[in-house]
Structure 1
Amino acid sequence: MRPQIFLGQGWLPSLSSGTYIIFGTTNFAFLRRIHRRYGEFVRTGPNEVSIFHPAAIQVLDSSSSHTTKDNWYDFLKPLNSAVFTRNESEHKEWRKSWTQSLSKKSMGVYQPRIVELALSLSDTIADYANTPVDVNEVMSWFSFDVMAEIVFGNHFGLVKSKSMHPAIRHRDRALAMLGPLEGAIWIARLGLDLVPFYGRIKDWLRKVAFCEDQMRKRMSENNPKLNMASWFIEEFHRNQDLQDIGARNLLLTGTAVSAMVAGSDTVRSSLIAIWWYLSKYPEHASKLQAEIQHVEVGDMNTLSSLPHLNVESAFVSPDEFIPERWYSRPELIRDKRAFGPFGFGNHHCVGQPVAYTELRLVTATLLQRYSVCFAPGYKPESMWLNMKDQVTAQPGEVLCIFEPRH
């Protein structure tokens, strides 16, 4: 939040918001410390206030709010997209194609393809035969394949081949640069303009080039499979009287980049965390296995209604894993407004149904077939100790054993 008048504690020097970010990639931990020490409103820069209040998310993100996006969102320029534009009228117009591409009808088409990839993931894990599974790596393959499938209509078979696509490595290295510069994005912008040959800058440009190439390939082929690109390409042609070809190309590529980064990396980190928690708290894995014992994993209506599988200050013991707070122990929720992983109002993430579909399917599919525990010698605290805040959450290493149940 960037106020026009002085607010909050004046304890940080003018350069501090840039300094603490540049020299570390654990912003979440730093902000948590200052919240505990200084309260709900803390001045973290000369024109910046960090807010730690459960009502803030909805107030700032609601349809009636007049707040605008920070200049961090200019990073994508000259590319553009509904996700990154700071212009509200553009956001409202460009959001339409996203909403159509992820409607209930569209999700009905995508779901069987996601089920197929989840089953492929289960088969791949079987190949490990009770040896440690690098959950970070495996979930990277899966989440990238899913987004490639529903965005472009074809996945890369990463789950089956057990291989990491170069675009994933480019993305991860680029985000490792962007994360520390979150409060000083002008440095990254300067790098793009002055040193495009620098390693991390080059990684970002290669990631962009990958998305552009995939979209061009999708436009040139007669692919009958419905995918998100179908609507983005339709928008590209529909706007020919409103935008020149250059602006439409920048919007199309920017949209593809936004979909691939926002859709794959966020789900990846959530899936990693799920298997960490189920390994640390096996009693919850047992509860889930009892729920899904006789459920067809492809039946999304049933999966979405299972109480323990769909568990969503505000919370009693917020750092403890207590899924029951969401369905049988409401007394553990002090203020439900604090839970908003997909945002609210006009900026609510339209990718929510995709994310929930992936999380439910993978969790149900693997728990029906396997029992899970940490690998021998693995130190569970390493996931948190090595967690990085790099635009998206980058959990530390998670190693698990998936043991066949039958």
Structure 2
Amino acid sequence: MTEILGASVTAAVLGVAAHVLYFSRGEHHLYGLRYVEVFFLSFLATTALVRRSLGGETQIDSAPGWSQSALISAGLHLYFLGGLYASCVTYRVLLSPLRRFPGPLDLRISSLSLVFRVRNSDAHKKVQDLHARYGPFVRIGPSALSIIDPAAIGAVHSGDSGFSKGDFYDLLHPAKSLQMMRNKKDHAARRRVWSAAFSDRALRGYEKRAVTYQNKLLARLAESVDSGKPTNVTRWIYAFSFDLTSDLALGKPFGSLDTDKKHWVIDVMDAGTVVLGLMLPTWVFRLLSDIPGLNGDFFKWFNFARDSMMTRAKTKPETPDMASALLSVFEGRDPTAEELALLTGDSQLIIGAGSDTSSSTMTVLLYLLAKHPQELAKLRVELAPLIVQTAPSSAISFSSEKLASAAQLNGIINETLRLYPVVPTATYRRAPPQGVSIAGTFVPGGTDVWTPQYAIGRSEEIYQDPNSFRPERWSEHPELVKDSRAFAPFLIGPFNCIGKPLALQTIRSTIAKIVCTFDISLPPGDDGRAFEAGIKDRWILGVPSLLLKLTKHPE
């Protein structure tokens, strides 16, 4: 008994040492499965050693002896874990450099607590509530802060901030894309390749491609008008966005607008965003993804994108797509395996980030216009003189340059992004080792920092009447914006959204064509509350089905 007690104390001390000397230093999120394997092997080895100490060498087949040994081994490993987690909790609550920041006790102790809090994919609202209670700086994890002070945008995201991307961007490791690159030099080099895909000339080419899918979208919406039933706008906006981005990325659309069927890739991506909405710690996500059978859909999507990119590389489209810019660096040679993996990741990024983000914004924007008909009327007045009639006579188009300077249209887009930002909460940036001062508050080095745009966009300290839809705050009434530094729906700095010009161009022209073709309103008896309640934070904004009453707008 004395020997077991001594071994238990030793195991607990080893657990404390493991935390102090190893787990409290560096990053460990990529090694979860390895740690589980080592722990299991340690259990087996300890069981054998305990069995031997009990005289097991002469009783090899004694089942009771093995069960007793396994129980003792399990107990020793529990003592080890007890020591490790006791040290971990003590440090996080009493010794961490973040101990002076306010926040709930459970979030100080474990990031898994956040998973429970946001289990309904409502992190945007839960974090907003935390800031309402604790102030502009809130500790939301053992080593994480959420900051809504406007100064944080520049301090965290500008080019000279010293902040880097957090371990969240290793979710798909070793798969890569521009978005998931954490190394600043690698990211800058890859971004230079991408920049050609967003030149003025390239954007004009994408605009021509978009017309095809916009016309198909309008035709689908017109069909629902003829039926006399409310239209599921979400369904058709998403079909449009995925068809356009898959064409730009892979040279071939998913065909959802033509077939009225959701492509299986969209289902895979939808399932992925649901998981992201749980805000799992990176090590948990990585551990689950390393378990055989749980990542089959991702690899199916990866292989599809890779094969599609290889096919696209062998063709040359009449109108350049985004793949044209990404493939141009190879100058006729075949990409290496590593380069092909990066191309594949980038094509997935174009489809995922480009379609989900634009479609959610356009859907919410149409909802807000239906709810505020006076703003819709102002928009139509602004757009009417900008319409360019094309053949056939029923088709309309706009100059992208003129739409870019349309005050009401852009005010509506900005106001939509303020109220319902594409990435509502988690921006995952890590403070430099030396730490940094933000709005007079020192943030220790290595701290993971969020600048939650949803909570920022609804702060009374930053916006007057923050919960109201008032597009005029971006034009004739700038006094409604108390601090313009806070508005960064596409972020700023070297890690900002490189696709911002394309996203805005697509949103402007698509919305302009819809509102000049149809009258839109909420169905009778629908006040919009159900739609607003169904909006989710799945790292990116997730929107439910939006039913609108559409009628043909008089010429």
Question: What residue identity is the alignment partner of 1:364?
Answer: A
Query: In structure 2, do the counterparts of structure 1 residues 377 and 204 end up closer, same or farther at CA, with 3 Å as the change threshold?
Result: farther
CA distance in 1, matches of 2:260, 2:162: 46
One of 495, 499, 524 as aligned partner of 1:351: 499
Select the residue among 515, 526, 531 that pairs with 1:383: 531
Please show how residues 35-184 of structure 1 align to structure 2 within 5 Å: 35-128=131-224, 129=226, 130-180=228-278, 182-184=279-281
Amino acid at match of 1:267: S
C-alpha deviation, 1:90, in angstroms: 0.2
Q: CA deviation at 1:239?
A: 10
CA distance in 2, matches of 1:300, 1:366: 15
Cα displacement (A) at 1:64: 0.6
- TM-score w.r.t. length of structure 2: 0.68
Separation in structure 2 between the aligned mates of residue 102 and residue 160 of structure 1, nearest angstrom: 28
Deviation of the 1:36 alpha carbon: 0.2
* Mapped contact 2:235–2:545 kept (Cα < 8 A): no
Q: Matched residue of 1:44: which SS?
A: strand
Question: Compared with structure 1, are the counterparts of its residues 40 and 214 closer, same or farther at alpha carbon in structure 2 (3 Å cutoff)?
Answer: same
Structure 2: how far apart are the matches of 1:111 and 1:194?
43
Q: Share of identical aligned residues, percent?
A: 28
Asked if residue 9 in structure 1 is aligned to residue 102 in structure 2, the reply is yes
Residue 306 of structure 1: CA displacement?
A: 1.2
Cα distance in 2 for partners of 1:147, 1:161 equals 17
Listed as ranges, the gaps of 5+ residues in structure 1 are none
Counterpart for residue 203 of structure 1:
297
CA contact (8 A) 2:103 2:130 kept: no
Deviations 1:61-116 (A, max 9, x none): 10111111010000121111221111000000000121111111100111111123
- The 3 A distance-change label for structure 1 pair 344 and 93 is same
Structure with larger RCO (C-alpha < 8 A, sep 6+) = 1
Amino acid paired to 2:311: K
* Secondary structure, aligned partner of 1:33: helix
Matched residue of 1:310: which SS?
Answer: helix
CA-CA distance at 1:379 after TM superposition: 4.7
Per-residue deviation, residues 343-377 of structure 1 (Å, max 9, x unmatched) = 11112211011111111111110111111011234
Among 325, 336, 357, the alignment partner of 1:231 is 325
The CA RMSD measured in Å over matched residues stands at 2.1
Match of 1:218 in 2: 312
Q: What displacement does 1:335 show?
A: 0.5
Cα distance in 2 for partners of 1:148, 1:10 equals 43
Question: Does the 8 Å CA contact 2:131/2:138 hold for their aligned counterparts?
Answer: yes
**Deviation readout 1:100-136 (Å, 9 max, x if unpaired):** 1111110011111112321221111000123211121
Q: Which amino acid aligns with 1:144?
A: F
Contact 1:115 1:298 in 2 (8 A): no
**Contact 2:309/2:344, CA 8 A, preserved across alignment:** yes
Q: Is the 8 A contact 2:124 2:537 kept in 1?
A: yes
- Residue of structure 1 equivalent to 2:473: 325
State the SS of the aligned residue for 1:58.
helix
| Aligned residue number for residue 512 of structure 2 | 364
Contact 1:12 1:44 in 2 (8 A): no
What does residue 27 of structure 1 align with?
123
Query: In the aligned structure 1, how far is the partner of 2:130 from the partner of 2:255?
Result: 44
> In the alignment, residue 321 of structure 2 is paired with which amino acid?
N
- Aligned-pair distance for 1:263? 0.7
Match of 2:549 in 1: 401
Residue number among 247, 254, 258 corresponding to 2:345 in the alignment: 254
Partners of 1:265 and 1:346 in 2: how far apart?
Answer: 22
Q: Where in structure 1 do 4 or more consecutive aligned residues deviate above 4 Å?
A: 236-240
Distance 2:268 2:544 in 1: 18
Please tell me whether the aligned partners of residues 462 and 482 of structure 2 are also in contact (alpha carbons under 8 angstroms): yes
* CA contact 1:272–1:398 (8 Å) conserved in 2: yes
Contact 1:61 1:344 in 2 (8 A): yes
Change in CA separation of 1:162 and 1:172 when aligned onto 2, cut-off 3 Å: same
Which letter maps to 1:375?
A: P
Residue 194 of structure 1 corresponds to: 291
Sort the Cα spacing of 1:37 and 1:5 in 2 relative to 1 into closer, same or farther, 3 A: same
Residue 55 of structure 1, CA deviation = 1.7
Q: What's the secondary structure of 2:104's corresponding residue?
A: coil
**2:382 matched to 1:291?**
yes
Secondary structure in 2 matching 1:400: strand
CA contact (8 A) 1:21 1:27 kept: no
Paired amino acid for 1:165: H
Contact 1:170 1:206 in 2 (8 A): no
Q: Flag structure 2 segments of 5+ consecutive residues without an equivalent.
A: 1-26, 28-91, 389-396, 415-460
- For the residues of structure 1 that align with 2:332 and 2:170, how far apart are their CA atoms? 25
The AA in structure 1 aligned to 2:339 is R
Q: Deviation per CA, 1:206-246: give whole Å up to 9, x if none.
A: 33233222212211334343111112223456998xxx933
Give the Cα–Cα distance (whole angstroms) in 2 for the partners of residues 156 and 37 of structure 1. Answer: 46
Change (3 A) 1:384 1:16: farther
Deviation at residue 46 of structure 1 after TM alignment: 1.2
Task: Supply the distance in 1 between the matched residues of 2:251 and 2:383 (Cα, whole angstroms).
Answer: 30
Q: 1:239 to 1:59 in 2, by over 3 A?
A: farther
